[in-house]
Structure 1
Amino acid sequence: MQAVILAAGLGTRLRSVIGDEIPKVMTRYNNKPLLQYTIEILKKYGVKDIVMVVHHKKEQIMDFFKDGKSLGLNINYVFQENPKGGTADAVRYAKGKINGDKFLLVYGDNIFERSSIGKILEMKSNHDGIIAVKKMEDVSKYGVVEVNGDRIIGIVEKPEVAVSNLVLAGLFILPNEILGFIEKIRPSKRNEYELTDAIQLLIKNNYNLGYIQIDGFWIDPRNAKELELARQFIDENYDG
């Protein structure tokens, strides 16, 4: 299966901690960029064809990983013109590189246990798409998922009223058809093209979307405290 990694973000929330000289995905943990851990996990589970969406300081990412051959991978890059365009906009730029009827989408700045990717890949044939979710007490800063049984029945980005305590955890297996639905959505109140809006169109069109619940570690570091939690997790669970 092919993977699309979103690595174009400006990392504005962490700028006071990591500065503006490196992309958030290239933040060093044990002297290794965060993105390298993600790519190594993908390779472990047999995902070797990668499309990387880049923008901010893209040369650092491209110079480090190059075409992926030295890692036994095939890496292609696409440039998101507006890094504030939203997650759906980022996926749209990968359209010309995506092949196959499904693809694995990974938020490149999220940190999770290795097994999370293994679990989502195991379920890829059971549904039209699979979304990783995580239980959170405060869901106001995340995309929130509503489920019924083993299916997702609704999804909304940063809702004013939460429909559940399950949030998007940065891992998706999506049908290729979502690329067409992305073309139909309009900017949100934040003036971004939200992936959640495109996924909601999949649901409205009767696509069977399942989910896996991440019980272990997952974090999208947004401040110094969360960054330290991420470092501690990597120190304890990953080789340098």
Structure 2
Amino acid sequence: MATQGGIVLDTTVASIVLAGGKGTRFRQALSTDGQKVLYSVGGKPLIRYTTDLLVAELVDHIIFNVGYKAEDVRDWVKEQFFTQRVSFSHQDEWSTYNAVMNALKRSDAANVVLCNADEIRLGLDLRDVLAFHRQHGRMMTMVAAERDHLSRHRVLQIRSSDNVLLGTEYTPARFKQAPSHKGYVNAGILVFGGQASVLFDSHHSTTGWGALLDPLCRRREIVVYKCSQVNFFNVGTREELDSAIKFLEDA
């Protein structure tokens, strides 16, 4: 453990990987009933783009949240060679809140890295994100990427003076008429300490991230890590999938 001013700091990190959603829009677009996170893009399953970020020197424990097609995800995880402690949690409701709260029961780490497993973030270094989180001292850090086609994403309102999150808009329709307009969007990774989860509130959202974000955003306890150089793809629609495939083919 690290020390600061003679005080021992608990720097243990667990990661919750959200791999239990149904991915309904994605499956309908591709006419498949498989688990979205196992769909191969650029020669590897989507979930691998997330687990590749969770290197053992940074993350002590990976908790895979499963639900839809749970056994397929479990089988994939068992075939990998993760050197960290690995465990599973199961969501019994189709909500992010339920998935996260169930997964947190498996962790005693001081810090949690929560990740969507169906997104691609090329060029992101989790080491920098964790250092940023510890430096800024807010309850939560959100990783943000700069993107166009903002109507496909959760768009962020960020205070310029200190990068504190002021609010979010989920897939705002007004940007459909301005697809080239750019802004910062949620890149599907949150870092937080255990004290933050006490404030999570399912009344803010029955399905999405609002249950986690809204209570802390109101308290101005979310700081945004801007990564403008990261190539981010929220593979929730056919359009985003096609964009990711083209980028990877051209890279």
Give the TM-score band, short-chain normalised: 0.7 to 0.9
| TM-score where L is the length of structure 2 | 0.78
| Structure 1 residues 236 and 140: alpha-carbon distance in aligned structure 2, compared to 1, 3 A threshold | closer
RMSD in angstroms over aligned alpha carbons? 2.8
In the alignment, does 2:187 pair up with 1:178? no
* Higher Rg: 2
* Deviation for aligned residue 1:124: 2.4
Residue of structure 1 equivalent to 2:112: 103
* Deviation for aligned residue 1:88: 2.5
Map 1:61-80 onto structure 2 (within 5 A).
61-66=73-78, 70-80=81-91
User: Secondary structure of the residue that 2:164 maps to in structure 1?
Assistant: strand
* d(CA) in 1 for partners of 2:237, 2:222: 35
Count of residues in correspondence between the two structures: 229
* d(CA) in 1 for partners of 2:173, 2:240: 25
From 147, 150, 159, the counterpart of 2:158: 147
Preserved contact between residue 164 and residue 220 of structure 2 (Cα < 8 Å): no
From 218, 226, 237, the counterpart of 2:240: 226
* d(CA) in 2 for partners of 1:156, 1:7: 23
* Deviation for aligned residue 1:234: 3.9
In the alignment, does 2:32 pair up with 1:20? yes
| Structure 1 residues 167 and 45: alpha-carbon distance in aligned structure 2, compared to 1, 3 A threshold | farther
Provide structure 1 residue ranges, at least 5 long, that are not aligned to the other structure. none
* Partner deviation per Cα, 1:32-76 (whole Å, 9 max, x = no partner): 3221232122126632410111111111110111296x3323221
Give the counterpart letter for 1:131 in structure 2: M
In the alignment, does 2:55 pair up with 1:37? no
Give the counterpart letter for 1:108 in structure 2: A
* d(CA) in 1 for partners of 2:44, 2:130: 25
From 182, 186, 199, the counterpart of 1:168: 186
In the alignment, does 2:165 pair up with 1:158? no
Provide structure 2 residue ranges, at least 5 long, that are not aligned to the other structure. 1-12, 175-181
* d(CA) in 1 for partners of 2:44, 2:173: 39
Give the counterpart letter for 2:130 in structure 1: L
| Structure 1 residues 224 and 137: alpha-carbon distance in aligned structure 2, compared to 1, 3 A threshold | closer
Of the structure 1 ranges 53-62 and 205-214, higher mean CA displacement relative to structure 2 is found in 205-214
Preserved contact between residue 186 and residue 193 of structure 1 (Cα < 8 Å): no
In the alignment, does 2:203 pair up with 1:195? no
Residue of structure 2 equivalent to 1:88: 97
* Deviation for aligned residue 1:122: 2.8
Of the structure 1 ranges 102-111 and 172-181, higher mean CA displacement relative to structure 2 is found in 172-181
Q: Kindly, what percent of the aligned residue pairs are identical? A: 20
* d(CA) in 2 for partners of 1:233, 1:73: 31
| TM-score where L is the length of structure 1 | 0.81
